[in-house]
């Protein structure tokens, strides 16, 4: 008996060793892995709550572009189906309220305008629903599923016949007339034709009618009232809407020729509103006073449609919120809360009171959708890329696994919360991302990862999107860096006072906090050298500019003094070391705390020779 037991044990050990030998060793993250990363998001629950439509974005290496497709997964997570294919992206899925159709945006065939396409849930190919002359930005179904409200820019086709004739006989492009402060967005110039208006589209009659018609203003984020009678949307009807961020809520009857009405006391900087189920109230994101636009700590506001009386529900919650939804019975409003490197789901009763937390802290909740008692969320953690989850009784249940195959091969670096004191005693929070093979007895080159904004925050999420590319922290860790992701003053997630403490004082407290992070690294024995790196090149450029003011030029940087090394800019062709130009709108100077010589545009130029002044270690993208 004893011999057979020993033999069985030996056989078990050999079998286990064989399994271990067959298990492939994990590897470090490489730059080529970006072509396998899939960005999952935009969850939309069906009206019956049984299915969740969502999008998956990946990179087509050969075509050198990003492609999005529409998928859907059932509530049980047992069926995950891709719905769209082809060389053009499909985005913004929206279920029809009757549950019969799933609509999405796509420009098919290539180089065509972005239109609405329709999938019948009973099966069949997607069919093109709209054939409008301009690209659609967004759309929303009417509650009876018979109409859509469309958001798009109006074309110049109503120009005079003379202008059209001149264009037809001339090969020269039309001149771009600039008559606004905000005149460019990325590579595109902005004119009145860039402003979006709202249109009503009758699905059966295939008829398009203008709903909002004043081209001086841009109207966006339309939301239909549950009774179908009105549409709420966001716009800015100031005399010069491009100079100041003063978005307001407007109401308009859902018929052609209706006159929009601005709701009082609803400075609304945060995006779409939410209707109560009885169509009597609107929940909205209430901003702080207008001068704090750059540091908005949005709160949940509630306004009565009948009398225009509004109140703030989350007055006692010193955190910013987003993504509003009423509960099915209309008794409460749920929302996402940005909180110190994390984001969670919460709700508050319309009668007021305490905020109730609805999700845990293991995952960052990025987005959610709720219908028929089911809530689906897009969530991520330090080790899980964004995927779709079901939220049940405060716990997450995984529904999709698009990135599991890739991540199963990768040994990610450990992520640790850190905190330290800045030079004036303010407590600063951040995260330390360590190399996968981190050895506490060794010293490592240390990289300061500086998020943009400056009012963003670094969170415990493995984001694969292009901005903020938080997975890049793991790229650097895989190459032997310790990465410090610092939520310096001005960042969100720490309350109103922390966020707006840099008001009219850019380049002061942020720099002190980042240098304190370098001190922290030295104190814990991490670095052999230290480098600054930013996910937002403009942020590093600005911090360098203000660091080169006369009061700073003669002072050695703290990291240099402590480490006893001379640093120089590591990317001489980058915007930080070549030329940085910032056009500052009137009224914006209070954000920066700088004195400008004119009330109009001011150019801040930072030329290449000044790179010799840079003592702070810097790494930016060329």
- pLDDT tens digits, 192-224: 677 889 999 999 999 999 999 988 888 999 999
Segment 362-387, tens digit of pLDDT:
999 999 999 999 999 999 999 999 99
Q: Do 200 and 209 meet the contact criterion of CB atoms below 8 Å apart?
A: yes
Give the pLDDT of residue 529.
65
Q: Is the pLDDT of residue 531 over 90?
A: no
pLDDT at 520: 92
**Greatest extent of the chain over all pairs of C-alpha atoms, in Å:** 105
Task: Please report whether residue 605 resides in a domain.
Answer: yes
Would you say residue 476 lies in a domain? yes
Q: CB-based contacts of 398: which residues, under 8 Å, 6+ apart? A: 77, 387, 389
Tell me what pLDDT residue 620 has.
41
Residue predicted with more confidence, 607 or 541: 541
pLDDT classification of 535: cutoffs 50, 70, 90: low
List the single range of 119-123, 268-272, 336-340, 449-453 with lowest mean pLDDT: 268-272
578 within domain boundaries: yes
- What is the mean predicted confidence (pLDDT) over 26-48? 95
pLDDT, greater one: 543 or 256:
256
Burial of 61 (0-12, 13-18, 19+ CB in 10 A): exposed
Please say if the pLDDT value at position 580 is more than 50.
Answer: no
Is pLDDT larger for residue 411 or for residue 195? 411
| Of the candidate ranges 316-320, 499-503, 552-556, the one whose mean pLDDT is the lowest | 552-556
Chain centroid to Cα 557, Å, comes to 33
In this structure, are residues 293 and 245 in contact, taking their beta carbons and an 8 Å threshold? yes
Mean pLDDT of 180-189: 65
pLDDT at position 554 over 60: no
Q: Please write down the HEC assignment for all residues of 33-73.
A: HHHHCCEEEEEEECCCCCEEEEEEEEEECCCCEEEEEEEEE
Percent of the chain with pLDDT over 70: 73
The secondary element (H helix, E strand) that includes residue 592 is helix 589-592
Interatomic CA distance for residues 182 and 242, integer angstroms:
6
Question: Is 76 or 8 the better-scoring residue by pLDDT?
Answer: 76
Q: What is the pLDDT of residue 272?
A: 87
Q: Classify residue 529: in a domain, yes or no.
A: yes
- Boundaries of domain holding 592: 411-613
Beta bridge partners of 299: 286
Q: Does some domain include residue 568?
A: yes
Q: pLDDT category, 540, cuts 50, 70, 90?
A: low
Q: Could you tell me what percent of the chain has a pLDDT over 90?
A: 56
Reading phi first (left if > 0) and then psi (alpha if -120 to 50, else beta), residue 6 is in alpha
User: Would 40 be classed as within a structural domain?
Assistant: no
Average pLDDT over residues 536-554: 50
Q: Could you count the other beta carbons within 10 Å of the beta carbon of residue 498?
A: 24
Has residue 26 been placed in a domain? no
CATH number for position 588: 3.40.50
pLDDT for residue 541 is more than 70: no
What is the DSSP pairing of strand 427-433 with strand 51-60? unpaired
Residues 6+ apart with CB under 8 A from 227: 143, 279
Instruction: State residue 287's pLDDT score.
Output: 79
- Give 526's pLDDT tier (boundaries 50, 70, 90): confident
Number of domains in the chain: 1
**Domain membership flag for residue 575:** yes
Average pLDDT, stretch 299-310? 93
Per-residue pLDDT, averaged over 339-357, amounts to: 96
- pLDDT tier, 185 (very low <50, low <70, confident <90, very high otherwise): low
- pLDDT band of 281, cuts 50, 70, 90: very high
- Please give the pLDDT value at position 566: 29
């Amino acid at each position: 008996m004893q011999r057979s037991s020993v033999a069985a044990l030996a056989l078990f050990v050999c079998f286990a060793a064989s399994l271990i030998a067959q298990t492939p060793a994990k590897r470090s993250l490489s730059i080529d892995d970006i072509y396998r990363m899939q960005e999952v998001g935009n969850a939309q629950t069906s009206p019956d709550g049984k299915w969740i439509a969502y999008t998956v974005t990946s990179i087509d290496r050969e075509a050198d572009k990003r492609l999005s497709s529409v998928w859907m997964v059932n509530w049980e997570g047992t069926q995950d189906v891709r719905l769209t294919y082809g060389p053009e992206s499909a985005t913004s899925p929206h279920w029809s309220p009757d549950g019969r159709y799933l609509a999405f945006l796509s420009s098919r065939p290539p180089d065509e305008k972005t239109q609405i396409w329709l999938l019948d849930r009973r099966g069949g190919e997607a069919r093109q629903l709209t054939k409008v002359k301009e690209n659609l930005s967004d759309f929303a179904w009417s509650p009876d599923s018979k109409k859509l409200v469309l958001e798009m820019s109006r074309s110049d086709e109503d120009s005079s016949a003379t202008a059209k004739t001149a264009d037809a006989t001339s090969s020269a492009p039309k001149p771009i007339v600039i008559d606004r402060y905000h005149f460019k967005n990325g590579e595109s110039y902005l004119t009145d034709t860039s402003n979006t208006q709202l249109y009503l589209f009758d699905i059966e009659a295939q008829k398009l009618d203008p709903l909002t018609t004043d081209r001086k203003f841009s109207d966006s984020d339309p939301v239909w009232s549950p009774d179908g009678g009105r549409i709420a949307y966001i716009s800015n009807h100031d005399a010069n809407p491009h100079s100041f961020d003063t978005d307001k809520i407007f109401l308009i009857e859902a018929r052609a020729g209706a006159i929009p009405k601005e709701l009082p006391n609803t400075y609304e900087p945060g995006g779409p509103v939410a209707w109560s189920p009885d169509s009597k109230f609107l929940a909205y994101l209430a901003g702080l006073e207008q001068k704090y636009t750059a540091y908005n700590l949005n709160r949940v506001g509630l306004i009565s449609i009948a009398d225009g009386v509004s109140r703030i529900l989350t007055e006692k919650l010193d955190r910013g919120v987003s993504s509003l939804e009423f509960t099915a019975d209309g008794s409460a409003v749920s929302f996402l809360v940005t909180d110190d490197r994390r984001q969670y789901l919460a709700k508050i009763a319309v009668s007021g009171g305490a905020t109730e937390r609805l999700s845990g802290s293991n995952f960052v909740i990025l987005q959610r959708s709720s219908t028929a008692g089911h809530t689906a969320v897009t969530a991520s953690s330090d080790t899980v890329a964004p995927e779709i989850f079901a939220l049940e009784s405060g716990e997450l249940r995984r529904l999709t696994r698009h990135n599991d195959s890739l991540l199963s091969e990768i040994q990610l670096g450990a992520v640790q919360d850190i905190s330290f004191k800045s030079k004036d005693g303010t407590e600063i929070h951040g995260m330390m991302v360590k190399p996968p093979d981190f050895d506490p007895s060794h010293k490592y080159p240390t990289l300061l990862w500086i998020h943009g904004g400056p009012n963003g925050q670094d969170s415990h999420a493995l984001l694969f999107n292009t901005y903020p590319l938080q997975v890049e922290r793991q790229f650097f860790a895989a190459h032997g860096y310790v990465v410090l992701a610092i939520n310096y003053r001005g960042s969100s997630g720490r309350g109103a006072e922390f966020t707006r403490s840099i008001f009219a004082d850019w380049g002061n407290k942020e720099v002190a906090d980042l240098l304190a992070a370098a001190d922290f690294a030295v104190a814990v024995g991490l670095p052999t050298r230290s480098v600054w790196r930013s996910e937002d090149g403009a942020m590093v450029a600005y911090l360098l500019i203000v660091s080169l003011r006369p009061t700073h030029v003669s002072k050695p940087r703290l990291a240099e003094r402590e480490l006893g090394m001379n640093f120089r800019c590591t990317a001489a062709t980058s915007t930080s070391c070549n030329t940085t130009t910032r056009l500052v709108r009137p009224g914006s100077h209070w954000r920066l705390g700088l004195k400008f010589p004119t009330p109009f545009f001011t150019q801040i130029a930072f030329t290449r020779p000044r790179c010799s002044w840079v003592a702070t270690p810097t790494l930016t993208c060329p």
